[in-house]
Structure 1
């Protein structure tokens, strides 16, 4: 496991602040060992919690042109037919993955292909499971023309805790299944929109791993 590049600066600054805080408190609490031990323990826990947000474990990934892999770690919270208004303006099957604060926050390309559309939307920070978070929250929308043919839309969505979305793709880019396409700092949600005849391979409440779990199979 390694630390993701998006977290290295944050972790370095946090470590310096916590060390300075501990030194200052030790100075003002000389002779009070119990309080000092409690403060040290609390700051270590805080640092470890932030550290786990930015972990980037190794994944055994494979590529297959008609299979969509999970774009993120988390739990499947939506599997339903919806109207997708931004790009397709028709009905699609939506599959959503909720990322809790303890999940890996890397987001990965669910399929290989060419990026046909990309747009960043500033927005609100509703809780990620709110029905309107997919259209009202800060988010990015990526549409890829898959190697298998069908167009696939996936969307990073910020939540109540997530305050910054990072992306590494632009229109015209060629992307490879399983590779990173972005990062949601402190987690949130990723939505997938696929053709209605797509065969869904996951169930509601199922825990998935980004780049490893097969989410669905395209009809080609």
Structure 2
């Protein structure tokens, strides 16, 4: 299915298949499985079974399914699987605003809409770029490991800021934030890379959050509590501002 063109009128072919396991996670899963087999070899079944289930959990955590990415040039797609936990007006992070001395684009220091997505340990943790364009900034900031659902996690936790600029100059910044269990943010890209919308940019190990900073004049198309899918769910349309309401039931 990878690379196939599908549309809203039924063109293309939808197939089911087991998701791939990202290479970053295979070593952990294989190690846990190896320990389980070692325990089983010595007839330590009380230890072998828990390790076997742990290996399955690790493989599931690092799953990397294919996604059908919208090709609308105005769409900002979700960079992460998870639940919308915050939609609020804030000033963008300093790392995405200040001049870095290289004359590269940056975000305005004016308040903008931040959409925050919380990923539990059961969600896919491969992150994707919300727009197509060039990676202008990738800034890693060491920090704490507070609950990623807390508002202050955006400023105090270990995090990595990414700024992507489209060919027309529109920029979208987003931040990968480590959580209570997460201890490492793994990038797949570097400054200067050109990305297609929905392309994989990195992962966060074991529970985390991603903040997206929408361009000026753009409002969210998702609502608090809504579940989103990385590379598929449209978070916003550039230049579009309208109120959407929902009812939980």
TM-score (normalised: structure 1): 0.89
Please point out which of 48, 71, 74 is paired with 1:66: 74
| Partners of 1:150 and 1:123 in 2: CA distance | 29
| Partners of 2:145 and 2:209 in 1: CA distance | 12
1:199 alignment partner, SS class: coil
Please point out which of 116, 131, 136 is paired with 1:116: 136
Residue range with higher mean Cα deviation, 15-24 or 209-218: 15-24
Determine the structure 2 residue equivalent to 1:177. Answer: 197
Is the Cα contact below 8 Å between 2:165 and 2:171 reproduced in 1?
yes
Determine the structure 2 residue equivalent to 1:51. Answer: 59
Determine the structure 1 residue equivalent to 2:106. Answer: none
| Partners of 1:85 and 1:13 in 2: CA distance | 38
Determine the structure 2 residue equivalent to 1:32. Answer: none
**Ranges in structure 2 where 5+ consecutive residues have no aligned partner:** 1-18, 98-108, 241-249
- Offset at residue 43 of structure 1 (A): 3.0
Please point out which of 5, 12, 15 is paired with 2:30: 12
Determine the structure 2 residue equivalent to 1:94. Answer: 114
2:235 alignment partner, SS class: strand
Is the Cα contact below 8 Å between 1:71 and 1:109 reproduced in 2?
yes
- Offset at residue 157 of structure 1 (A): 0.5
TM-score (normalised: structure 2): 0.79
After TM superposition, the structure 1 = structure 2 runs for residues 36-47 of structure 1, keeping only pairs within 5 Å, are 36=45, 39-47=47-55
- Offset at residue 96 of structure 1 (A): 0.7
Is the Cα contact below 8 Å between 1:101 and 1:186 reproduced in 2?
yes
- Offset at residue 135 of structure 1 (A): 1.4
After TM superposition, the structure 1 = structure 2 runs for residues 21-40 of structure 1, keeping only pairs within 5 Å, are 21-24=39-42, 26=43, 36=45, 39-40=47-48
Q: Does 1:204 align with 2:224?
A: yes
Is the Cα contact below 8 Å between 1:65 and 1:146 reproduced in 2?
no
Determine the structure 2 residue equivalent to 1:80. Answer: 88
- Offset at residue 39 of structure 1 (A): 4.6
Q: Does 1:157 align with 2:165?
A: no
Is the Cα contact below 8 Å between 1:153 and 1:194 reproduced in 2?
yes
- More helix by percentage: 1
- Offset at residue 131 of structure 1 (A): 1.5
Is the Cα contact below 8 Å between 1:167 and 1:182 reproduced in 2?
yes
| Partners of 2:190 and 2:114 in 1: CA distance | 23
Is the Cα contact below 8 Å between 2:35 and 2:48 reproduced in 1?
no
Between the two proteins, the alignment pairs up a number of residues equal to 210
Determine the structure 1 residue equivalent to 2:148. Answer: 128
